[in-house]
Each structure stands twice: as structure tokens, then as C-alpha cells.
Structure 1
Amino acid sequence: MTCVGVSYSERDSMDPLVNCLPSEQPEKLTTKKKEVLEPLIKEGWATIKKGTKLHKKYTFEEFGDAFSFMTKVALKAEAVCHHPDWRNNYKTVEVSLYTFDKGGITMLDVKLAKFIDSTAAIFLKRNVEPKWVYSI
């Protein structure tokens, strides 16, 4: 089955990546373009596997927050046809991002990382409005 980018909310209908097509393939970041990773590194992301993957660990207050976070990210990932590699252990979620068919990090990974961070902010600081929500 081919992922065609179905939107799960009205707000998502304005996102340019929601209606992704399989023919839209992002290119692997070159060494010169990797400066776009610097803001992510400052936010706690790391490059692993010789710079081919982005990785970050989140620790929430409780399992419900971790699971809610994963659910929101999963719905967006399905909508944009780009899925994280992740692990959940109670209130901890580890996320790795890379574009398998490109063999490394692409701008789609960068955009998804920003969305993941903004989503995590909602669940890491319960009862506090996030300062920003990045939409991909």
C-alpha cells in the first residue's frame, strides 16, 4: 500500500507536506547543507551512525504523556509519509530519523525533527502552552 498523505485534522490541510506523493523524494543532505542541523543539535538532537541519522531521547512525566506524544507524532508521520524509528520504555521515548532510501538525513528528517520537538513541548510541560508549534 502506498502512503498518499491523508490529513488527520483540518489544521493539517494547510501543510505543504500533507499531500506528499511518492515521486517527491528529498535529497540527502550534503556536507555543505548540514549547517541546517545546528539548531537541532542545540535542541538536544545528535547525529549517530557516522552522521547518517538524527537521534533524540525524551523523558516525560508519565507513560500517558509519552504515549500521547507518540500518537500525535505517528499521525503526522503517516500524513507526511515519513516514519520515525523509535523505542518506548514507560515514560521514555527515543527517536531516530533518517531517510532509508537516501541512506541518510534529508530535509524531510529535519522538518519532522522540528515537528517532534514542538509536539514534545506540549507533553513535557503539561498545563503550559508551548511557545511555538512547528508544523510540517
Structure 2
Amino acid sequence: MKTMNSAYVPGARLCDRVRLSRVSSKLSQASLSRKLGVTASAVAQWESARGTTPGVDRIRKIASITGVSFEWLATGEGSAFERRTRGAQESPAVDLDCYAQDLAEELLLSHYRNMKRKARDALLSVAEALAHAAERGSPTVERR
């Protein structure tokens, strides 16, 4: 699966955010188009840098279908995944910090789940080594 790193930085294009939201929800262009009631070529156009741009109503529907926040999809600002609670005093039923916080984490988790055990162990070792290097302030590890 090809991912677009440019979508994780401020100023990412709408076409990249549409594609990432679709891919993170494991939908094909055809399946998203069916859910939206448009042609698959319309979705392909929206995901193309030289293509057309969906209207606000379509962006709202894409966000709802794919589970990303409307603000992030429409503008690239804010978090890709909304944290919705019904009231200020209510606590969520689960600890939201235990789940993916953005599309990058969601895609990483998706790839991890599709790996064989040996590859998972290798990836975990690399992640732990990078985390330890960041904690020690290693100049080769960039902190965000």
C-alpha cells in the first residue's frame, strides 16, 4: 500500500487527505463512491493533484464515512480523528490514549497487524531503539 507522507505535514493537499482517509478506512475508490452515490471516477478525480475538488457537502460525507474529522479533511488543520464526548462532565468509556491519535499511527497499526510474527518483532525492536535514542537526546532522532 502506498502512503503519502506529505499528508502528515501542515499544508497537505486536499487530494492527499481524501486518499488517506479512504485508505485508513480500508475502502476502495469504488466502495467509497458507492457510499457517496457518485462515480468511482469522481473519487479518483478528488484524489488527483490535477483533479477536481469535492464540494463541502461531499467533504462532510467523506469525513463521516471514513471516520475523520471534517475540519482536518477540509482544511488540514486539527486532528484527523475527532474525540467526541456528549458532555463536558462525561468520561469516555475507553482510554482514548490507547488508540491511534492520527492517520500515521492508524496506518502503522494497520500495516503491523498484517505482518507476520517475525516482521512484527523486528519492527517493535526498531521502534524501541528509536524511542530509547530519542529519550537520550540522540542527534540522529528528530523529536516532533
Tell me if TM exceeds 0.5.
no
Given the two structures, how large is their TM-score scaled by the length of structure 1? 0.28
Given the two structures, how large is their TM-score scaled by the length of structure 2? 0.27
Q: In proportion to residue count, which structure has more helix?
A: 2
Greater Rg over alpha carbons, structure: 2
Structure with more relative contact order (C-alpha pairs < 8 Å, separation 6 or more)? 1
Q: In proportion to residue count, which structure has more strand?
A: 1
